[in-house]
Amino acid sequence: MTTHLVWFRNDLRVTDNRALSAACEDVDATVIAVFIATPAQWRKHDMAPRQAAFIYQHLQALQGALSERGIPLYYHQCELFSDSVDWLVKFAAEHHVDALFYNDQVEINEVERDAAVDKALSPEVQIQRFNDSLLLPPGSVTTGEGSMYKVYTPFRRAFLQRLSESDCRSLPAPHARKNSHPGEAAELSPFDYPQQEVGDDFPIGEEAARDRLRRFCRENVQDYLEQRDLPAVDGTSTLSPYLAIGVLSPRQCLNRLRAENPEVLEKTDGGAFGWLNELVWREFYRHLLVAWPSLCKRQPFIEWTKGITWRDAPDDLQAWQAGKTGYPIVDAAMRQLNATGWMHNRLRMIVASFLVKDLLIDWRCGERYFMSKLVDGDLAANNGGWQWGASTGTDAAPYFRIFNPTTQGERFDKQGRFIKAWVPELSDVPERDIHQPHRWAEKQRRVLDYPFPIIDHARARKDTLAAFEAAKNRA
Ligand code: FAD
């Protein structure tokens, strides 16, 4: 009897899962599955307790969905990736595994771990790997010279061309097996890692994720371009937590989008294309990570930016983290992050710019803090977003582009609806004054229980430009 082992990692779903489907192709094979938790590794990378809880709850759902198909999901917890290699080798021997199936990950530690597993298991165990977390595999979209694009727009052009020629069909969930595995899978014991409830914002399960996708593509995507920058409006899909741990695949997103908008690949304007564009940004950052693995080690892409002298300002960093900077849009955003584990994209850009270009604090402090809080924490997208905002990344905002946090608030949360939802201290401040509340309080002879701005934007802007220019001139 042939035994196939499916190793689940960040692909916690049964529908449209390439490795799982391939393992189930041989109807006579016995299929078993495994998930290995590595809390020490997660600690090293500041994984958010909310994301840990989200993974755990999805593992439980996955175990149920697999069990209905006669596939037991085994579970093991060890500390580091290196320990998981030895354990997997032992497990494969004990269960007489003939072939191991898994979906590739792009991060450097994961790539090294997988190479060690492949080496330790083969040739006795056949290894079958799949590109599943991306629409197109890294390395498949290259310039005429065969290298990875450094600039997004030509990458997107080439990407969409290849995409139109590729088979991106989604695969159905496998049927129940004829040969159910007779052994019992271990019960899932809680991770040895802090966990924090995710709440109703992100319901658990593949079905919930697919429902959200369907609803978004049917009801919201047409208005995406007009609404995507307004944090007070539900204008984006809020699918990122599901995509980050693979409860949903990018192919499912693309196919649902195409079902509602058959011409999305040709018609390059409108909301549907705007949304597709974000999925392509997701691909771009992942492809970059594979082409430049140093990005995984938090190195800036632009060499000269290594020479920037950052401020060591722990009080300012703490005020930023706590949402107490005295800039209402920044504070509302950080409080949303702290309370829910999610933040709107426009706000991520604003708070990143504020930390780096107003407070002149190293972008890596922000990157780490985000990872420690985000339910959708994703190394590639987070690193890409931070390096974009800090002007240290490839195709990033130029260093002299510095958001004014007050005018950003005026532009994207004009009436302060989002601010008022998160900063109750400002509930009495009228709409027109919400972005500069102390001015209003002074005129009213009132004292607000809300901090004064911790830094003067105009002065900070000059200091930041000087710091970037000094580093550039030194290089
Ligand atoms: P939608 O607008 O509906 O977009 C659909 C999907 O496309 C998202 O779910 C996401 O998977 C992808 N996507 C959208 N925008 C981007 C982008 N700029 N870069 C890469 N992928 C994108 N996204 C994460 O998933 N994890 C992170 O850790 C993360 N950190 C970020 C940090 C900073 C400083 C910035 C500026 C952006 C970061 N992003 C991150 C990207 C983006 O903010 C989120 O993906 C988006 O806000 C998620 O909301 P949504 O699902 O409603 O997005």
Of the candidates 271, 268, 237, the residue with the CA atom closest to the CA atom of residue 164: 268
Is residue 310 part of the annotated active site? The answer reads yes
CA distance 169 to 207: 18
The active-site residue, picked from 310, 404, 410, 425, is: 310
Rounded to 5 degrees, what angle do the CA atoms 198, 111, 159 make?
80
pLDDT of residue 184: 67
* Full strand arrangement of the beta sheet holding 73-77: 73-77, 30-37, 3-8, 99-103, 126-130
Percent of the chain with pLDDT over 90: 93
Residue 245 beta carbon below 6 angstroms from any ligand 1 atom: no
**83 C-alpha to ligand 1 centroid (Å):** 32
CA distance 133 to 13: 12
Residue nearest to atom 43 of ligand 1 (CA): 345
CB 197 within 8 A of CB 53: yes
Q: What are the structure tokens assigned to 58, written together?
A: 């999805």
pLDDT bracket for residue 445 (50, 70, 90): very high
With the most atoms of ligand 1 within 8 angstroms of its CB, the residue from 156, 278, 370 to mutate is: 278
How many angstroms separate the first and last alpha carbons of the chain? Answer: 63
Q: What are the structure tokens assigned to 68, written together?
A: 């209905």
CB atoms within 10 A of CB 467: 18
**381 C-alpha to ligand 1 centroid (Å):** 6
Is residue 342 part of the annotated active site? The answer reads no
pLDDT of residue 420: 98
Cis preceding linkage at 49, omega within 30: no
Rounded to 5 degrees, what angle do the CA atoms 38, 67, 121 make?
45
The answer, yes or no, to whether residue 166 has pLDDT greater than 70, is: yes
Of the candidates 134, 157, 133, the residue with the CA atom closest to the CA atom of residue 144: 157
Per-residue pLDDT tens digits for 325-366:
999 999 999 999 999 999 999 999 999 999 999 999 999 999
Residue 67 beta carbon below 6 angstroms from any ligand 1 atom: no
Average pLDDT over residues 441-459: 97
The answer, yes or no, to whether residue 67 has pLDDT greater than 70, is: yes
Residue 381 beta carbon below 6 angstroms from any ligand 1 atom: yes
CA distance 430 to 189: 51
Residue 354 beta carbon below 6 angstroms from any ligand 1 atom: no
CA 57, 62, 65, 68: dihedral to nearest 10 degrees? Answer: -110
**470 C-alpha to ligand 1 centroid (Å):** 32
Within 8 A by CB and 6+ apart from 149, the residues are: 141, 142, 143, 155, 158, 284
Q: What is the mean pLDDT of the chain?
A: 96
CB 171 within 8 A of CB 16: yes
pTM reported for the whole predicted model: 0.97
Residue 278 beta carbon below 6 angstroms from any ligand 1 atom: yes
Of the candidates 33, 54, 37, the residue with the CA atom closest to the CA atom of residue 99: 33
Q: What are the CA-CA distances from residue 79 to residues 53, 82, 83, 240 (Å)?
A: 18, 8, 7, 27
pLDDT of residue 123: 95
ipTM of the prediction greater than 0.90, yes or no: yes
The active-site residue, picked from 42, 275, 342, 363, is: 363
Of the candidates 313, 225, 314, the residue with the CA atom closest to the CA atom of residue 267: 225
pLDDT of residue 220: 96
pLDDT bracket for residue 183 (50, 70, 90): low
CA distance 270 to 288: 27
The active-site residue, picked from 7, 42, 342, 386, is: 386
Task: Report the run of H or E that residue 5 belongs to, with start and end.
Answer: strand 3-8
Residue nearest to atom 16 of ligand 1 (CA): 278
Ligand 1 atom showing the smallest separation from residue 352 Cα:
34
Residue nearest to atom 2 of ligand 1 (CA): 236
Residue 374 beta carbon below 6 angstroms from any ligand 1 atom: yes
Is residue 386 part of the annotated active site? The answer reads yes
Ligand 1 atom showing the smallest separation from residue 279 Cα:
7
Per-residue pLDDT tens digits for 69-123:
999 999 999 988 888 999 999 999 999 999 999 999 999 999 999 999 999 999 9
Residue 396 beta carbon below 6 angstroms from any ligand 1 atom: no
